[in-house]
Structure 1
Amino acid sequence: MLLKTFGWSFAITAAGLALAGVLWGWQGLAIVAILSVLEISLSFDNAVINAGILRKMNPFWQKMFLTLGILIAVFGMRLVFPVVIVAITAKLGPIEAVKVAIQDHDRYEALVTSAHPAIAAFGGMFLLMIFLDFIFEDRDIKWLAWLEKPLAKLGKLDTLSVVVSLVVLIIAATTFATAVPVHDGEGTIDKASTVLLAGIGGLVTYLIVGGISGYFEERLEEDEDEDEGDEGAGGKSGAEAAKKGGGSVVGLAGKAAFFMFLYLEVIDASFSFDGVIGAFAITNDIFVMALGLGIGAMYIRSLTVFLVRKGTLDDYVYLEHGAHYAIGALAVILIASIKYEIPEVVTGLIGVVLIGLSFFSSVVRNRSEAEGGSDSGAKSEVASGV
Structure 2
Amino acid sequence: MIARLVARTFGLSIAVTVAALVVAYLYGGPAALFVCAILAILEISLSFDNAVMNATVLQRMNAFWQKMFLTVGVLIAVFGMRVLFPLVIVWAVAGLAPAAALDLALNPPAVETADQPSYQTIMVQAHPQIAALGGMFLLLIFLNYAFDEDRRVWGRFVEHWLARLGRVRHAAIIVALAVLLICAQIVDPAHRSSVLTSGVIGILLYLSIQGLTAMFDDDELPDTLDPAVPDPSSTRPAERDRPAHLPVGGKAAFMLFLYLEMLDASFSFDGVIGAFAITSDPILIALGLGFIGAMFVRSITVFLVRAGTLTEYRYLENGAHWAIGALAAVLLVSLKVEVNEVISGLVGVVFIVAAMISSIRANRADARAATQTAAGVSGP
Regarding TM over 0.5, the answer is: yes
Paired residue type of 2:266: S
Match among 262, 284, 289 for residue 285 of structure 2: 289
Residue 4 of structure 1: aligned partner: 8
Q: 1:373 to 1:40 in 2, by over 3 A?
A: same
Q: Give ranges in structure 2 of 5+ residues lacking alignment.
A: 110-116, 228-245
Paired residue type of 2:378: E
Whether contact under 8 Å (1:176, 1:336) holds in the other structure is no
State the alpha-carbon separation in 2 of the partners of residues 60 and 177 from structure 1: 47
Q: 1:227 Cα deviation (Å)?
A: 11
State the alpha-carbon separation in 2 of the partners of residues 4 and 220 from structure 1: 33
Q: 1:170 to 1:227 in 2, by over 3 A?
A: closer
Q: 1:110 Cα deviation (Å)?
A: 0.4
1:247-278: per-residue Cα shift (whole Å, max 9, x none)? xxx9x821111110010000000000000000
State the alpha-carbon separation in 1 of the partners of residues 54 and 296 from structure 2: 13
Whether contact under 8 Å (2:146, 2:163) holds in the other structure is yes
Determine whether 1:199 maps to 2:199. Answer: yes
Residue 76 of structure 1: aligned partner: 80
Q: 1:226 to 1:4 in 2, by over 3 A?
A: closer
Structure holding more helix per residue:
1
State the alpha-carbon separation in 1 of the partners of residues 335 and 350 from structure 2: 24
Residue 333 of structure 1: aligned partner: 330
Determine whether 1:138 maps to 2:149. Answer: yes
Q: 1:354 Cα deviation (Å)?
A: 0.8
Residue 236 of structure 1: aligned partner: none
Q: 1:226 Cα deviation (Å)?
A: 8.1
State the alpha-carbon separation in 1 of the partners of residues 275 and 188 from structure 2: 22
Match among 29, 43, 47 for residue 47 of structure 2: 43
The residue matched to 1:191 in structure 2 has which SS? helix
Shifted more, 103-112 versus 283-292: the winner is 103-112
State the alpha-carbon separation in 2 of the partners of residues 63 and 156 from structure 1: 37
Segments ≥4 residues shifted beyond 6 Å? none
What percentage of aligned pairs have identical amino acids?
Answer: 50
State the alpha-carbon separation in 2 of the partners of residues 4 and 218 from structure 1: 36
Shifted more, 47-56 versus 209-218: the winner is 209-218
State the alpha-carbon separation in 1 of the partners of residues 91 and 327 from structure 2: 26
State the alpha-carbon separation in 1 of the partners of residues 279 and 51 from structure 2: 25
- Name which one, 1 or 2, has greater alpha-carbon Rg: 1
Determine whether 1:211 maps to 2:211. Answer: yes
The two structures have a TM-score, normalised by structure 1, of 0.87
Residue 153 of structure 1: aligned partner: 164
State the alpha-carbon separation in 2 of the partners of residues 146 and 21 from structure 1: 52
State the alpha-carbon separation in 2 of the partners of residues 255 and 218 from structure 1: 11
Residue 254 of structure 1: aligned partner: 250
The residue matched to 1:338 in structure 2 has which SS? coil
Residue 356 of structure 2: aligned partner: 359
The two structures have a TM-score, normalised by structure 2, of 0.88
Q: 1:93 Cα deviation (Å)?
A: 2.7
Paired residue type of 1:310: A
Q: 1:145 Cα deviation (Å)?
A: 2.8
State the alpha-carbon separation in 1 of the partners of residues 208 and 259 from structure 2: 10
Whether contact under 8 Å (1:329, 1:350) holds in the other structure is yes
Q: 1:280 to 1:160 in 2, by over 3 A?
A: same
